Structure 1
Amino acid sequence: MNKLLVLQSDFGLVDGAVAAMIGVAHEVDMNLKIYSLTHDITPYNIWEASYRLFQSVKFWPKGTVFVSVVDPGVGSSRKSVVAKTKDGHFVVTPDNGTLTHIKKYIGIEVVREIDEKNHRRKESELSHTFHGRDIFSYTGARLASEKISFEEVGGELPVDKIVELEVGKVTRTESSIKGNIDILDVRFGSLWTNITREDFLKIGFEYGDRVEVVIKNGSTLVYNNRITFGKSFADVYVSEQIIYVNSLLRMAVAINQGNFAKAYSIGTGIHWTIEFKKTS
């Protein structure tokens, strides 16, 4: 372990919840290096928590421990787990779908269920609604500081039995490719899709092409226009739309110095589809 602990939650920073998690981690080991991935996950949005882990985990050193707490089922029968990725990172989280993108796109080697009788903050047994502080941050800190080994966390669970969210499919024809709008580049309103650069280019698109873009919410047409495929925002004028390859090598759509999602009231998720079509 490298004493790196990275926290993610939907708690926000308007009260003391995140500070309590950090405090508990430092109670375990004052020498831990504690960072935040984000605490602005949309409340209860497990999909978003899963995606943000995928967006970030692989860029941290091997052995880093992540604690992700978006837990609408806190206090229920859902399991508390630690997953070891194939790249050697650890994710401490509820087993509620938060590991979906890590499993699909990075790979999970082993999952262990946290033995909550032995791995929870002292004298926290009467509290049933703040496992982020009492179990997840505490266990994550003990793992990151090597107070416990991964094997001591608890019994092993079958990786193929963990809870997974539905992930959209990508379909391709000779002249088009269709996928989903997975998430937003939040501050800038860019649309991030599940279509990889590799699959997009198989259609024959080249930089500078004008590509037809069709966006639907279910069966409802929301947007249909032609957009330039460019390398960067500088390839189009300010306020002009662009298709580009994002930092995860997936296709994205944006307005240069604007907010595409707000401009066209675009959402995310399994019901939001986007199709790129070649034009004659």
Structure 2
Amino acid sequence: MARFVVVALLWLSLASAQAADPSGMIVYQTDFGLRDSAVAEMKGVAKQVDRKLELFDNTHEIPPFDIWTAAFHLAHLVPYWPQGTVFVSVVDPGVGTERGAVVAKLKSGHFYVGPDNGSLTLVAEQIGIEAVHAIDYKKHRLPGSENSHTFHGRDIFSYVAARLASGQVPAEGFGPVLEGDVVRIPYQHAEIKDGTALGVIPILDINYGNVWTNIGRTTFEKLGIAKKEPVRVQIFDGETKVHDSVMPYVDTFGDVPEGDPLVYVNSVDEMALAINYGNFAESHKVSSGPTWRVILSRP
């Protein structure tokens, strides 16, 4: 996640020089898919609030109920959008319960609207949160939706985001300041311990089955392993060891024969695992998320 930190710092420097007013833009991500009208209904609500709003999609293919993946994509996405952009992230298995619903102003000058269920975990760490307001959704929801309890993405979050992005209501106008911290998902942060590099598998490069870790290149380099030297790779799901092998540390896929595994630095300057012309995740039954731990070391 090193690249995200660098980009976030760039945006924080820009934020100090510019006002963080809502931009009239909303970016959506959900686990809804596109096989029904759910996403279009959310956008329709926003357009009813203000037809001039610009509405964009990140993805609607987050695995169902996968709050961690929502958190990862959100942190990855935010720094590339103009200040004032409002992000609506709805992966909300606790919809209709007592879980929080918030508007957050980020230190980068962006805004988040959605559930307080762990979706802000990585944003809070890598970008920072200036203020969080609990949404009073008895007052701030789509008129006529009071008896709807299972589609807050449409009835509350898209409606609130539209009023925020259009400048109709400021962030602090939706409810009181949240007491305490936002909900955070615990996970293994990248670190060097006893001559090993520890981390998690935050996400898969899903099209190719490459396995990405949160162990940054600079952290890994503290092990003193040079290019073309072997690396021991251990992967755990919780306490269960799923994989244990030795493979070379190289620059790119073609540096090993077809079908061979490799350790490399991915496009976000973090360590990753792959099989040249193969699918590492599928071959070794590896997935991603906060329970998927990885250990890199000398053999």
Report if TM-score (shorter chain) is over 0.5.
yes
Point out where structure 2 has 5 or more consecutive residues left out of the alignment: 1-21
Q: Match for 1:240 among 254, 260, 264?
A: 260
Query: Could you tell me the percent identity over the aligned residues?
Result: 46
- The one-character-per-residue Cα deviations of 1:67-101 (angstroms, maximum 9, x if unpaired) are 01111111111121011111111111111111111
Structure 1 CA distance for aligned equivalents of residues 265 and 100 of structure 2: 37
The counterpart of 1:206, out of the listed 213, 226, 250, is 226
Map 1:175-254; keep pairs closer than 5 Å: 175-254=195-274
Contact in 1 for aligned 2:200/2:292 (Cα 8 Å): yes
Tell me the equivalent position of 2:297: 277
Q: Which one-letter code corresponds to 1:149 in the other structure?
A: P
Instruction: Find out whether 1:59 has 2:80 as its counterpart.
Output: yes
Q: Which is further off, 105-114 or 175-184? A: 175-184
> What is the deviation of 1:171?
4.0
> Distance between the aligned counterparts of 1:146 and 1:230, measured in 2?
50
Q: Is the 8 A contact 1:180 1:271 kept in 2?
A: yes
Q: CA deviation at 1:174?
A: 5.8
5+ residue gaps, structure 1, are: none
CA distance in 2, matches of 1:172, 1:91: 33
Q: Give the match for residue 49 of structure 1.
A: 70
Which residue is equivalent to 2:14?
none
TM (normalized to structure 2)? 0.86
Aligned residue identity for 1:118: K
Name 2:188's counterpart in structure 1: 168
Of stretches 192-201 and 250-259 in structure 1, the one that deviates more from structure 2 is 250-259
Q: 1:100 pairs with 121, 141, 144, which one?
A: 121
Counterpart contact for 2:191–2:219, Cα < 8 Å: no
Q: How many positions carry a matched residue from both structures?
A: 278
Once the two structures are overlaid, the 10-residue window that deviates more, 210-219 or 86-95, is 210-219
Change (3 A) 1:6 1:210: same
Distance of aligned partners of 1:165 and 1:173 in 2 relative to their CA distance in 1, 3 Å threshold? closer
Query: Alignment partner for residue 101 of structure 2, among 58, 67, 80?
Result: 80
The CA deviation at 1:237 is: 4.0
Runs of 4 or more above 4 Å deviation: none
Partners of 1:55 and 1:248 within 8 A in 2? no
CA drift of 1:240 comes to 3.0
Mapped to 2, the partners of 1:123 and 1:167 lie a distance apart of 40
TM superposition shift of 1:272: 2.3
Residue matched to 2:287 = 267
> Which residue is 2:132 aligned to?
111
